Chain A
Amino acid sequence: MIRLNDLKISYRIGGRTIDAVDGVTLTIPDGCIVGIAGESGSGKSTLMKAIYGDIQHPMYISRGSIDYDLSAADGRPVTTETIRQEWFKTISYVPQSSMNSLNPVIRIGKQFTDFPGTGSNKRRVLEKARTYLGKLGLPPGVMESYPHQLSGGMRQRVMIGLATFFQPGLIIADEPTTALDVVVQKEILMLLMELQEEMNNTILVVSHDMGVHYQVTHKMLIMYAGRVVEYGDTESVFADPQHAYTKMLIDSLPTIGDDSMRGVIASAAGAGGDRAFRVEPGLFEVKPNHFVARAAANAGVLA
């Protein structure tokens, strides 16, 4: 399980400090897929980076902490300072754009042995990787291909293969299917769900597509302006959203077979500026496993 304790993450740019994540306290249980939704600038990517432990200037943790409840190889607990050593072993990352993440001048097979610690048994790792990629539905020739020779969907499959190869306990997937079209998107999401069921690890999925969240996740985390607006079991959040912003996210996009007018609240919120849905830090349990935040005093009329 991962515990975020009153986490505040800031960026120092020039003489200014920007608080991208501002007072987030919550617990992510083991073995579930958690979806994170919110618009650009809501702090979801910053939060993911912090959990992944990729904290580099100008970003820094200005308050609070993250507990991972994991032990490193030497038996000591994993912390923000030491989590880098766990990358691709107990924690891994599936980025949005696979083209920019695979090394373009190295064949796919070699990318599997391009980690520290695989030096002595490269051949065995390669054999295992070949079998594993076959299991993920990739043709055997992929191991000898360069990234540019593969389609977008195949590259994303390779990325998922790399991220899950060492059976990590935690996977962070940042918009894993945004660049793909619907047919390939469904294949990739199904693959991710099947792998999770098999390994029973925790996956954090960032997406702005509420349909993707409904299909894939067990829990939903809704962020707005650096704070958590709502957090709960996916079934409950979609069936009975507690916060106006969550409702707006769910209702904003049209569905096939439904002719009602959409996106009206979105335009009103746009006109209301960035504060329309601002909430206080701190969550209240309204139903079992379903939490919501209170509207901030300076929030807009819609909240």
Chain B
Amino acid sequence: MTLILKTEGLNKVYRRGGIVRAQYVTALDDVNITVESDKPVVIAVVGESGSGKTTLAKTLLRLETPTSGRAIVYDEVVAGKGATPSKRAFLGLVQPIFQNPFEAFSRYRPVDAYLHETARRVAGMNDSAAEAAVAEALNSVGLSYDEIRGKYTGQFSGGELQRISVARALIPQPKLIVADEPVSMIDASRRMIIINLFKRLRDDAGRSFLYITHDLATAYYISDFIAVMNKGQVVEFGPAREVMNDPRHAYTQLLLDSIPTTKSRWRPRLVRAG
């Protein structure tokens, strides 16, 4: 068994307001999750806005320092007390994918420049090795280098650009990819292309994912583990199928009951004749 992700008493308190009258907002409240598996996994984090799921992602990405507690990714302490790896080693272990790919890349710079930079500065490759790595990464997301060379963000659709973000994240061969709402900006009919890509990268390329979303249906579809967050706390955590088929916590049940499905109606409605 490999320790893929472990958080120990992770807390994050934001301070708002002035010196005299400060308000404190607890975004993460004693988060303890442990994911161990022989194979790479997709871990979903679900919950409503303000539940702390993005703060959890930011903490794991070292964009926020936890107030207390620590996080371990593949046996390395990445956040909190005793966080050891250098920035470069860290970025070789954990890579992000953000919600809005149009904001993740600058409009004034060709997108392949970002891929090159990741290859050279994070993976430490020389120019020709970087070129090969970029081509390979783009290949693995179903794009060819020739299609994107020298192009700017405005020349891609949201789905294509998000696939390029995935390719960029793959270049340093990270073990964990943290994806914060990666499909919410993408057309519903094209979302599954990204989701199936995650599935394939888990199974064939051995990458683990932390998939942050408020879409429980896609979370059910790809996840091995699921953490349900509410008000900064993890209210339910376990194997995805177990949690979603037999939710124990009232909040998980509420979330599941609120999904608009195409199977059963919320209440009987009159069907009006046209």
Contacts and interface: CB of A to CB of B under 8 A. Distances in A.
A238 B271 CA distance: 13
B269 interface: yes
B140 to A, nearest CB: 15
B217 A252 contact: no
A210 interface: yes
A8 interface: no
B260 A212 contact: yes
Contacts of A40: 157-158, 187
A302 interface: no
B86 interface: no
B122 interface: no
B148 interface: no
Contact of A211 (B48, B49, B245, B259): B259
Contacts of A267: 142, 192-193, 196
A255 B260 contact: no
B216 interface: yes
Contacts of A216: 260
A256 B188 contact: no
Given A181-B49, A215-B260, A209 B244 contact: no
B188 A253 contact: yes
A163 B263 CA distance: 30
Given A219-B274, A254-B220, A209 B188 contact: yes
Nearest to B255: A182
Interface in A13-47: 29, 31-32, 39-40
B258 interface: yes
A152 interface: yes
Contacts of A186: 257-258, 260, 266
Given A181-B49, A266-B190, A210 B262 contact: yes
B258 A183 contact: yes
Nearest to A217: B269
A263 B194 CA distance: 10
Contact of A256 (B187, B189, B190, B216): B216
A190 B266 contact: yes
Interface in B192-210: 192-193, 195-196
A215 B266 contact: yes
A233 interface: yes
Majority secondary structure, A binding face: helix
Contacts of B262: 210-211, 214, 238, 250, 255
Nearest to B245: A257
Interface string B235-274: 0000000001100000000111111111101100111111
Contacts of A39: 187-190
Given A39-B188, A181-B214, A211-B262, A32 B274 contact: yes
B260 A262 contact: no
Interface of B: 48-49, 142, 157-159, 187-193, 195-196, 214, 216-218, 220-221, 244-245, 254-263, 265-266, 269-274
Given A262-B195, A266-B190, A270-B190, 18 more contacts: A39-B189, A181-B49, A182-B255, A184-B48, A193-B269, A208-B187, A214-B261, A253-B192, A254-B218, A255-B220, A256-B216, A256-B220, A257-B245, A263-B192, A263-B193, A263-B196, A266-B192, A267-B196
Interface of A: 29, 31-32, 39-40, 152, 180-186, 189-190, 193, 197, 208-212, 214-216, 218-219, 233-235, 238, 248-250, 252-257, 259, 261-264, 266-267, 269-270, 289
29 contacts: A29-B272, A180-B49, A182-B255, A182-B258, A183-B48, A183-B254, A183-B258, A184-B48, A211-B260, A215-B260, A218-B271, A218-B272, A219-B274, A233-B271, A233-B274, A249-B188, A250-B262, A253-B217, A254-B217, A256-B244, A257-B244, A262-B192, A262-B221, A263-B191, A263-B193, A263-B196, A266-B192, A267-B142, A289-B273
